[in-house]
Structure 1
Amino acid sequence: MAAQDYSARHLSVLEGLEAVRKRPGMYIGSTDSRGLMHCLWEVIDNSVDEALAGNGSAITVLLHKDGSVEVGDKGRGIPVDIEPKTGLTGVEVVFTKLHAGGKFGSGSYAASGGLHGVGASVVNALSERLDVEVDRGGKTYAMSFHRGEPGNFADGAGVTGESSKSPTSAFSPFVSGSELAVVGKVAKGVTGTRVRYWADRQIFSPEATFSLEDLVTRARQTAFLVPGLAIEIRDERGDEPVEQRFHYEGGIGEYADFLAPDEPVTETWRVVGSGTFTETVPVLQENGHMVPTEVERTCEVDIALRWGTGYDTTLRSYVNIIATPKGGSHQAGFETGLLKVLRTQVEANARRLKVGTDKLEKDDVLAGLTAVLTVRLPEPQFEGQTKEVLGTPAARAIVSNVLTKALTDRFVSTKREDKTQSGIVLDKVVAEMKARISARAHKETQRRKNALESSSLPTKLVDCRSNDVAHSELFIVEGDSALGTAKLARDSEYQALLPIRGKILNVQKASIADMLSNSECASILQVIGAGSGRSFDLSMARYGKVILMSDADVDGAHIRTLLLTLFFRYMRPLIEDGRVFAAVPPLHRVVVMNPGSKPNDILYTYSEKELHGLLSQLEKQKKRYQDPIQRYKGLGEMDADQLASTTMDRKHRMLRRVRVADAASAEKVFELLMGNDVAPRKEFIIEGSDRLDKERIDA
């Protein structure tokens, strides 16, 4: 900004916003992509607040090619009249004054997300350029800002269209007074606001970008939380525009079903209630003095929850539809109330559930739970401007009381459906408690035993001699015939063997109780010795590597998939730490015949393609080989030397490490291949049937 363009009136406009530019992290958390997205949430939340107040039911978000973003709504439109205290239009007040807006007890918003009143002004301060258009009273008003200062951009004389707008266009700040220009007309009754801004690269790091994935996730979440609200996203940054639209009528009950990672064991329960509390807040009087005033607040609570077959917990909490990923008083009240009710009910049914004196813990209750918790209250207290933690103390007691009353009524209900569902929940949480207690006992007894100690490990385990966990290996082998060969082929110093009989239980479909009662699954958990599920402790694992060694046929692949399902569902840290491997036994043994007394060469191949390539190469070299070529249909067909040199000897073997790059996508794959829903699996098999090698099917 040139010195001659800097007049006294700009001091009042920029003195607050300069602080934002100097310390942006105080307001948006960081200046990377996360902070960039936070600015976008601030603008979107203002439009959502309009929808929450019953004004407008559609929001559009447009990501332009030039890196700018535009958010539009059909709300009431920002006020365009003069605000008496400042003498500025409502638009300029909203975008240039910190802690100004319609959300400070004025009655315009009963409960809103953007509550600190710094959202729009902070975004403006951190934007190289911001344009706002307001439809109101039959006219379209417009104003532009450059790094928080109002003025005019010279967007190429005679050039029309969106492409002419640029943050680098010549800028002229207003000197004597700001002008809210009338740039068009709209039909009577049409209202709304459109905000387009270019993030300031003096503030944000060059690699900071708007994440379409995060935007889609947030838009979907908001559409669930505000039933009837339609949110449309259009991304024009790529070669082809990407459009997505979200619109749901089912509210948080539908959201809980969407979030759930497992099959349900209960229906989705809905808990609705409210409570009142008083708090003392400073209120600005006409004479400019702040006077502490006691006001009564109402806190509305809406909860959807359901238990599933798994043990993972999915809990999302919101305050006035703003996500609180780090929880706060409302989430603490939810967990306290839930634990209190279930402890009371378990004690009341102790004889039927056979629990003795054991007490439920929070993790027992939360295992397999999917819940969406929302509270709505005026002027909530957040810890920090990023609004990730709710601080309002009264919310804890109100949420706990609402949940306690509703769940207690359900558990003591005499209706058949309620009694059935309640019984299922009690059985599940007690099973989790018993599994936790059992896991703790196992950890004490399942440490690596030395030669002088007794061991309660399965008798079929062929253990190794070494106590060095890092270098030890557990081979899970298919069948007793393979076990006999593997015993002779292994290095007994550090390689242990555990045989399994055929195909183990498909744990994706089974409950945790069924899994624990299955002898093969229980043996694997016991031998690895680190527990299962949420109680799994990687540091207690008895082996450095777990290697799945199954036949190189379709049945072997199926067994390997079943084993991987067990590891993914109940021992996932082993996979995440890169300690689960699949052995790669050869498919073919080719004996190359050498002339004279020279010993024949033995070559192994691992696929049909590799075999054909090898045979072609031998024919070119005019070398003879024994025909027919031996094809291994199982590990038992190999002798010990062959199995050792190809599959078990560290110097010559090949292992495939099992990785989980994306747990969410892996979960979807396991659910597709191993879950209860048959139709998608059938489609997957039909689509992939052309790629199947029919020779690999034993018929």
Structure 2
Amino acid sequence: MSENVNEYDASHITVLEGVEAIRKRPGMFVGSTSARGLHHAVFEVVDRAVNEVLAGRASAVDVTLTSDGGVRVADDGPGVPVEAIGDPDGPGLETLLTDMCVGREPVGRDTVAVGLASVGPCVTNALSSRLTAEVRRDGAHWVQEYTCGVAVGPPTVVGAASGSGTTITFWPDADIFETVECSFAVLAERFRELAFLNRSLDISLTDARPPGEPRSERFLGEVRDFVAFLDSSAGTPVHPEVIGFGWEDLRTAGTAEVALRWGTSREEQIRSFANSAPTPYGGTHLVGFRDGAAAAVSAYARRRRLLAEADSDLSADQVAAGLTAVVSVKLDQPEFEGATRGILGNSLVRTSVDEAVQEHLGRWLEEHPEQAVAIIDRIVTDADRS
């Protein structure tokens, strides 16, 4: 073999950085160039605005699908600092929109990642044919324009501002994405989840694309409302009240919330989340919940002699039949198994959730004997049939 064939040196290596790297390999940053990647690009901009609300710096987030194919994300926070005037309050607008290493919130119980990529609005900027950033701060209204992730010019004052906040409007690049048509339903599902899991969050979604009146939904609520929403298609409830409770545990350096209700259907519908991110494959929080619920129901049934002495305790699968539940933990240091963040691995969380569910669910059953009997009767009847 010729020596020339095997020649390989630094001249053969191409280094891609910044906007060029993102546009060359978009799937590395938003997962794909399909509709899934398009929606992740939206979530990267919404992420910053949502965390402004959760930090108490803003009161609401408004997302609009504009009639010309853009996506507008607005919040009423203090407004992103503007480097052009030497603003000392941290990374500024241009840095936020061009640097992946700056502007990300620290991971912890008080922040959420709206999407799975969590790389920041700079990626959305790079994958947009154009982007307009508006900042209302200290009485001034600033505007900066971008094309394919590159600033057209510096931020410019276009007038006075009566309030404060940040608005980012972007048009996904049709040369990169297979589709630039966002799904109202996909965005609404994620925003609804976030509002249910974070009771301080107020987020709205408006679709101004169809002719006529825009379609709009506002998302507010708490974990109990999440169960009621999921339960609406799960048949008749066995008991009217959605059971809900929350707690803080120093061992896990976090908090947790659980809500549940049994229905007449045998379908199990349990949704688990860690730091507001779905954990579709479960993890220690889900195992702890199932074990705790089975232990609480079995203990109550034995105390009330609703199980014969010779009967075994009810299993987690038997207790979960017909159960709609949401299990949400928020940890300072979440540990996920694998890169997809689909399984929570914190070992102490299992014990914490198990013990808390036994305590709180057990107390609820004692305080609501009629509903408790109805629940156990349905579970035992189902178990006898299977």
What is the distance in 2 between the residues matched to 1:394 and 1:20? 38
Following TM superposition, by how much is the alpha carbon of 1:298 offset from its aligned partner in structure 2, in angstroms? 2.7
1:309 corresponds in structure 2 to: 264
Give the stretch that moved more between structures: 226-235 or 257-266. 226-235
1:74 corresponds in structure 2 to: 76
Distance 1:377 1:239, change over 3 A: same
Distance 1:364 1:143, change over 3 A: same
What is the distance in 1 between the residues matched to 2:52 and 2:373? 43
1:609 corresponds in structure 2 to: none
Instruction: Give the letter aligned to residue 51 of structure 1.
Output: V
1:209 aligned onto 2:158: no
Question: SS of the residue aligned with 2:82?
Answer: coil
Following TM superposition, by how much is the alpha carbon of 1:70 offset from its aligned partner in structure 2, in angstroms? 0.7
1:50 corresponds in structure 2 to: 52
2:326 corresponds in structure 1 to: 372
Task: Give the structure-2-normalised TM-score.
Answer: 0.82
Distance 1:20 1:102, change over 3 A: closer
Q: 1:254 aligns with which of 213, 217, 225?
A: 225
Question: When the two structures are aligned, how many residues end up with a matched partner?
Answer: 366
What is the distance in 2 between the residues matched to 1:137 and 1:19? 35
Q: 2:381 aligns with which of 409, 426, 431?
A: 431
Moved over 6 A (4+): none
Task: Show the 5 A alignment for 1:234-633.
Answer: 234-248=206-220, 250-260=221-231, 261-266=234-239, 267-277=241-251, 298-346=253-301, 348-349=302-303, 352-354=306-308, 356-378=310-332, 380-382=334-336, 388-411=342-365, 413=366, 415=367, 418-436=368-386
Question: SS of the residue aligned with 2:258?
Answer: strand
Following TM superposition, by how much is the alpha carbon of 1:69 offset from its aligned partner in structure 2, in angstroms? 0.8
What is the distance in 2 between the residues matched to 1:144 and 1:382? 38
Instruction: Give the letter aligned to residue 372 of structure 1.
Output: V
What is the distance in 2 between the residues matched to 1:203 and 1:312? 41
Instruction: Give the letter aligned to residue 237 of structure 2.
Output: P
1:185 corresponds in structure 2 to: 160
The 8 Å contact of residues 355 and 430 in structure 1, kept in 2 or not, is answered as no
Following TM superposition, by how much is the alpha carbon of 1:242 offset from its aligned partner in structure 2, in angstroms? 2.4
What is the distance in 2 between the residues matched to 1:336 and 1:21? 47
Instruction: Give the letter aligned to residue 275 of structure 1.
Output: D
Structure 2, unpaired ranges of 5+: 1-13
Question: SS of the residue aligned with 1:311?
Answer: coil
Distance 1:34 1:271, change over 3 A: same
What is the distance in 2 between the residues matched to 1:201 and 1:186? 33
> Could you give the per-residue CA deviations for residues 465-496 of structure 1, whole angstroms, max 9, x where no partner exists?
xxxxxxxxxxxxxxxxxxxxxxxxxxxxxxxx
The 8 Å contact of residues 61 and 75 in structure 2, kept in 1 or not, is answered as yes
What is the distance in 2 between the residues matched to 1:116 and 1:326? 18
Instruction: Give the letter aligned to residue 44 of structure 1.
Output: V
Following TM superposition, by how much is the alpha carbon of 1:388 offset from its aligned partner in structure 2, in angstroms? 4.5
What is the distance in 2 between the residues matched to 1:143 and 1:213? 30
Larger Rg: 1
Instruction: Give the letter aligned to residue 245 of structure 1.
Output: E
> Could you give the per-residue CA deviations for residues 25-78 of structure 1, whole angstroms, max 9, x where no partner exists?
333222211221122122223222221222322222111232211111112322
Instruction: Give the letter aligned to residue 131 of structure 1.
Output: T
Instruction: Give the letter aligned to residue 29 of structure 1.
Output: G
Task: Give the structure-1-normalised TM-score.
Answer: 0.48
Higher relative contact order (CA 8 A, sep 6+): 2
The 8 Å contact of residues 253 and 333 in structure 2, kept in 1 or not, is answered as no
Distance 1:80 1:375, change over 3 A: farther
Instruction: Give the letter aligned to residue 186 of structure 1.
Output: A
- Percent pairwise identity: 35
Question: SS of the residue aligned with 2:152?
Answer: strand
1:143 corresponds in structure 2 to: 144
The 8 Å contact of residues 76 and 165 in structure 2, kept in 1 or not, is answered as yes
Following TM superposition, by how much is the alpha carbon of 1:299 offset from its aligned partner in structure 2, in angstroms? 0.9
What is the distance in 1 between the residues matched to 2:156 and 2:346? 42
The 8 Å contact of residues 29 and 386 in structure 1, kept in 2 or not, is answered as no
Following TM superposition, by how much is the alpha carbon of 1:235 offset from its aligned partner in structure 2, in angstroms? 1.7
CA RMSD of aligned residues (A): 3.2
Following TM superposition, by how much is the alpha carbon of 1:228 offset from its aligned partner in structure 2, in angstroms? 5.7
Instruction: Give the letter aligned to residue 118 of structure 1.
Output: V
Instruction: Give the letter aligned to residue 32 of structure 1.
Output: S
Question: SS of the residue aligned with 1:331?
Answer: helix
